[in-house]
Amino acid sequence: MQHLVDAFLDYLTVERGLATNTRSAYREDLAEFSRFVQDRKIEPIQSIQHQHITDFLLAQRKPGTTARGNPRATGLSVRSVARRLAAIRMFFRFLVREKFLTVDPTQNIDTPKLWRSLPNVLDYGEVERLLAAPKPDTKLGLRDRALFELMYSSGLRVSEVAKLTLNELNLEAGFLRTTGKGKKERIVPVGKTAADWLRRYLATDRPARAEVFLSTRGRALSTKTIWHLVKKYARGAGIQKNIKPHTLRHSFATHLLDNGGDLRVIQEMLGHADISTTQIYTHVDQGRLKDTHYRFHPRSGRR
């Protein structure tokens, strides 16, 4: 197989003009794949099938050793695995074009960006504990309660809630306007509970600033500060999960879906350009179904 890899790399250099660093990266990726094939005694190269490549990509997500025999304590990121698939795909296309193979085994393999890890979500009890963690008898506690209530109620990104302005809020109508990724503007509902907490917070003595959520110095809260607040209150609420601001957004979408929300409507509220991004929450729901079946069905195979 090595002579075919060398021919492919020469093709990349001579005919495609690939940079030296890119060639080196492809060489490393294909060396990993070659070792995988050799370890499983898959030969000749015409014997490599779709499933072998999928197995290799999945193995790359787990701890192991590199092609040079060095230990790899953690699995590769989805981005790195996607690069490995790109190298393998180009290699097999080259082999088909040069008549070394008649069938490309990489056809119909989903790109690893679609394999993204399922988002970490809070269950209903954990949400209640997190929302109740700030003490509203203080000005900052009231701000933080309103902040968390809004994030869970409307599924805003941390960047969106940080830059939210008073002019973008319409609490009487129960909506807000925000601009998300790609400068795409959308209208998002604000639940009654969140609206009530926002009214209480906005009724406090505040500097004349356009932003809704302000620091002790009267400036707009930064995304970094919101990140630390979520972490701090999660610890105080005894939540063991690795909580981030985006966890509230994930929980917002998952709980809507749990209670019968339409996927297209959830897509619109989240501001996803592609429905496939929103569909990950259906996988979360399926995961919960499988977990429930495993735990409670008498023939699930549990011990």
Q: Which among 230, 231, 292 is positioned nearest to 258, based on CA atoms? A: 292
Kindly give, in sequence order, each residue whose CB lies less than 8 Å from that of residue 88, ignoring residues fewer than 6 positions away. 29, 30, 33, 53, 56, 106
Within 13 A of 213's CA, how many CA atoms are on the CB side?
27
Task: Tell me whether residue 167 is exposed, middle or buried, using C-beta atoms within 10 angstroms of its C-beta: 0 to 12, 13 to 18, 19 or more.
Answer: exposed
**pLDDT range class, residue 100, cuts 50, 70, 90:** confident
CA distance 230 to 24: 42
CB distance 185 to 276 below 8 Å:
no
What tokens appear for 261 in the block? 């929300």
What tokens appear for 237 in the block? 């609420």
How confident is the model at residue 201, as a pLDDT? 96
**pLDDT per position as a tens digit, 186-195:** 999 999 999 9
CA distance 21 to 37: 24
CA distance 160 to 143: 16
Please tell me which residue in 16, 72, 97, 181 is annotated as part of the active site.
181
The verdict on whether 231 is a catalytic residue reads: no
Q: For residue 126, which phi and psi values (nearest 5 degrees)?
A: -65, -35
The residue to which tokens 């679609």 are assigned: 114
Please tell me which residue in 23, 52, 246, 288 is annotated as part of the active site.
246
**pLDDT per position as a tens digit, 21-38:** 778 888 899 999 999 988
**pLDDT per position as a tens digit, 257-300:** 888 888 888 888 888 877 767 767 766 655 555 565 566 656 55
H/E segment holding residue 72: strand 71-72
**pLDDT per position as a tens digit, 59-90:** 887 766 555 555 554 577 777 888 888 889 88
**50 has pLDDT over 90:** no
The verdict on whether 83 is a catalytic residue reads: no
Residue range 119-140: average pLDDT?
93
The verdict on whether 272 is a catalytic residue reads: yes
How confident is the model at residue 172, as a pLDDT? 93
The verdict on whether 3 is a catalytic residue reads: no
Please tell me which residue in 157, 163, 250, 255 is annotated as part of the active site.
157
CA distance 168 to 299: 53
How confident is the model at residue 264, as a pLDDT? 86
Residue range 218-237: average pLDDT?
95
CA distance 88 to 41: 18
Q: Alpha carbon 47 to chain centroid distance?
A: 35
CA distance 107 to 101: 13
How confident is the model at residue 303, as a pLDDT? 46
pTM exceeds cut of 0.75:
no
H/E segment holding residue 252: helix 245-258
What are the chain's domains? Answer: 2-115 (1.10.150.130), 124-296 (1.10.443.10)
The verdict on whether 281 is a catalytic residue reads: yes
Please tell me which residue in 84, 145, 249, 250 is annotated as part of the active site.
249
What tokens appear for 28 in the block? 């490393």
CA distance 226 to 276: 28
The verdict on whether 246 is a catalytic residue reads: yes
